[in-house]
Structure 1
């Protein structure tokens, strides 16, 4: 495979990831009490896919999954948050190389790397990017969008920290550790 092309495995993961993002976005969302802002389980799953398949897969799953979820369930995409979902997936995917979960390791060091990365990614996506794009694209008031972004960022960091860590831990257990197999 050339570096400039996505593997068939990654393309299939993007399709499945976007579909699961849509389903979790519909059935795995909990209202936060702040208008148009939910506590989402989708970002824990997006984190899993991003770490396993990399930043490009995370970007595309976030963009496609969020766009289709909004279009199907709300009538049209809210592009500022769609872009933020893609950026979140991309940034978390960058940590995948440092975590290297395919080697079957997800110990304390990897958990710390993952959680520091996901918190920083949530801050960038939801505390900064989504509110700024809301103001630029939709002329939304700053007082509204920064509260929404903060609630989304905090709740996403918590759900990804708990559910995402558990998903990655469980996934790592399915991988064979490097050097653990011996020839008899």
Structure 2
């Protein structure tokens, strides 16, 4: 039992390292939304969602926090904390339901995809349409009308990219995993 616990911790640490590295690498891979400043379609949102859905809330939180903070620092020269914390909270929220998605067990089907997308939509709205704008106002004294438009736009763009790319990643990964009980001992 202790051996499985140790393997689980190692697996989490490796997932966090790989997930955060991919998240950072994808920081500049984005399609700007021209009509709302500082918002874009970002592939990294789907990667964060996928890792959180497979490895759980701790990995999701850590990847969102570390990946976003490092990405900001490396590519933009400073960290915009009011947008780092929502990514961490988003990863945590999606990860809370990791077992329900059954991705790791090879059971991610239509029903699980619906649940996955319901959770990611609600999590995106909480993180980006609520937490990010409030933190922008509290931390940086940004104007409310500006940051709520940015936050809602970020939520919509993230939920679209996750619904498409995140679902495809989950389906693909689930299909290469062995379904529980599918291997039978030969008699």
Per the normalisation by structure 2, the TM-score is 0.94
1:58-73 aligned within 5 A: 58-73=60-75
Shift of 1:18: 0.5
Residue 168 of structure 2 corresponds to which residue in structure 1?
Answer: 166
Aligned to 2:30: 29
> Is 2:140 aligned against 1:153?
no
Give 2:90's aligned residue.
Answer: 88
| Corresponding residue of 1:142 | 144
Q: CA RMSD in A?
A: 1.6
In the alignment, which residue of structure 1 is the partner of 2:58? 56
Structure 1: distance between partners of 2:110 and 2:175: 14
Compute the displacement of 1:156 (Å): 0.2
**Which of 103, 106, 109 is the equivalent residue of 1:104?**
106
- Deviations 1:78-105 (Å, cap 9, x if unpaired)? 0010000000000000120211211101
The number of aligned residues is: 183
**Structure 2: segments with no counterpart, 5+ residues:** none
Q: For residue 6 of structure 1, report the CA deviation from its aligned partner.
A: 6.5
- Structure 1: which 5+ residue stretches go unaligned? none
SS state of the match for residue 178, structure 2? coil
- Aligned partners of 1:79 and 1:62: how far apart in 2? 12
TM superposition score normalised by structure 1: 0.95
Evaluate the alpha carbon distance shift between residue 6 and residue 176 of structure 1 in structure 2; reply closer, same or farther with a 3 A threshold.
closer
CA shift for structure 1 position 157:
0.3
Give distance in 2, aligned partners of 1:103 and 1:59: 22
- The structure 1 segments of at least 4 consecutive aligned residues displaced by more than 3 Å after TM superposition are none
Shift of 1:77: 0.5
1:74 and 1:118 mapped to 2: Cα distance? 27
User: Which SS does the other structure have where 2:180 is aligned?
Assistant: coil
The CA deviation at 1:133 is: 0.3
Q: Aligned to 1:25, what secondary structure does the other structure show?
A: coil
